[in-house]
Chain A
């Protein structure tokens, strides 16, 4: 076991864990004040649900030995069996399988959380929880197997079809995470329909500082996501780190210049969105391109995603927080551009793209990988969302939507405006009599 590499993988897992709450704040600031708690909860609950499923069978479906044709792993690792005490990785860079399993768990947590931005302000909480559980089981775990599970060099375990047969390159999750979540977001936005009043009524972000704070924490956590995916504290990790930084910086500039030209003002929300678009796009490419190529990918993503977020108004679907415009479009941009800017000069495990004499071969592999994940995720998400909507209902009633989903779904409100809202009507039995007296009113 390499202790340096192990330390880096464990730290990276913790960094990626932070991204889900960060995403909650990024999204939470963008919704209206009456539904911010629901938005935070749709994200935070992923930490609860997905972690338990990962322990039970998720890790096995994603990274266990292949069952059929590179489509899904088996059930050898139920309860994380077989991971304790085992090591993984090339000679000299071996880390505990359990560290790898915890690192990959955090990816499984944040991917479905990303979807929630498409259905802000109108989803029933428990219906979302059911969707979350079934979606990761049928969509994320298998797709992670396609993309992230590599054949063992000694042939002892067989991995996924995109990674090993097609040789689609996806270092940290452009396809498995972002295209996957983006396609599912589009499907759910269609199933749940528009919010009341959209797009006529203004639905302004209620707390833009929270959005920028969330985006900044995402950027920080993303170093674990991308550089941590090297699974070693080595030159590949440093390259991924550098590309993550320059691509994100370029994307912020790309988004803001696009806004200045189109709207006449550079906005804070635009800066936050540009950063996330850049992070999304560089995710698959961060270990396969030179830093100048990384910056070019970020710039493309910043400009294209800034333009793409307007599409929902043209096409008429209420993808509330632009999961499609940022994650689907950004994921496609990054995945495809590996086929353009990829170079084996920086990483022998990569491939030469169009600009480095590789022709269209890798671009084709990238396009096939992107299309496969997009199609699979969209169709299954549409079907699953439709079934939930037809049976237990996926959308809150009109009154709840108008009054506020926080108050009706969770019996809470995020902010107390003005004083004097509410007097205690009852206290938990466990609080005892003293608390009742101190509460002021008998």
Chain B
């Protein structure tokens, strides 16, 4: 089992969600996060005084998948989240030792 974590621009969430649903992915977790990469922050001006805003709002999408599905899911996320402009985010995959479905107690792939 793998955990696919994606940092994406907030407005592409609907596209990412739709394309994952088309692949048959049954669940995901979304959180609002802040950060910066090469894009850096932006500048705001109040009464002529400039303020550098270092952290940009992003969304973190987390999806648990079986090993066989991992490439398809990563490709789907990357394709749906890409605008071609700086700040599109990143996707990474980490191994997962154990998953338990709380309601039934199912373990491993059955719980994904």
Residue ranges of A at the interface with B (Cβ–Cβ < 8 Å)? 199, 202, 204-205, 259, 262-263, 265, 267, 269-270, 273, 306, 309-310, 313, 322, 325
Contacts and interface: CB of A to CB of B under 8 A. Distances in A.
Contact of B48 (A202, A204, A310): A310
Interface string B22-36: 000000000000000
A261 to B, nearest CB: 11
A218 B47 CA distance: 19
Interface residues of B, number: 10
Interface in B32-65: 44-53
A202 B47 contact: no
B52 A273 contact: no
Interface of B: 44-53
B47 A269 contact: yes
B53 to A, nearest CB: 8
A141 B74 CA distance: 72
A262 B48 contact: yes
A270 B52 contact: no
Which of A202, A267, A309, A310: most chain B Cβ within 10 A?
Answer: A202
B47 A309 contact: yes
Which of B46, B49, B50, B53: most chain A Cβ within 10 A?
Answer: B46
A321 to B, nearest CB: 9
Contacts of B47: 267, 269-270, 273, 306, 309-310, 322, 325
A417 to B, nearest CB: 12
A270 B46 CA distance: 8
B45 A202 contact: no
Contacts, number: 32
A259 B52 contact: no
Contact of A205 (B46, B52, B53): B46
B46 A204 contact: yes
Contacts of B44: 204
A309 B48 contact: yes
Contacts of B45: 259, 263, 265, 267
A313 B46 CA distance: 13
Contacts of B51: 202, 204
Contact of B46 (A262, A269, A306, A325): A269
13 contacts: A202-B52, A204-B51, A259-B45, A262-B48, A263-B50, A265-B45, A267-B45, A267-B47, A306-B47, A306-B48, A309-B48, A310-B48, A325-B47
Contacts of B48: 259, 262-263, 306, 309-310
B80 to A, nearest CB: 29
Contacts of A325: 47
Nearest to A326: B47
Contacts of A202: 51-53
B34 to A, nearest CB: 14
A199 B46 CA distance: 13
7 nearest interchain CB pairs? A202-B51, A309-B47, A263-B45, A310-B48, A269-B46, A204-B51, A205-B46
Contacts of A267: 45-47
A254 B63 CA distance: 52
A282 B48 CA distance: 24
Which of B47, B49, B52, B53: most chain A Cβ within 10 A?
Answer: B47
A197 to B, nearest CB: 12
A322 B48 CA distance: 12
A267 B45 CA distance: 8
A199 to B, nearest CB: 8
Contacts of A205: 46
Nearest to A305: B47
A106 to B, nearest CB: 28
Contacts of B49: 199, 310, 313
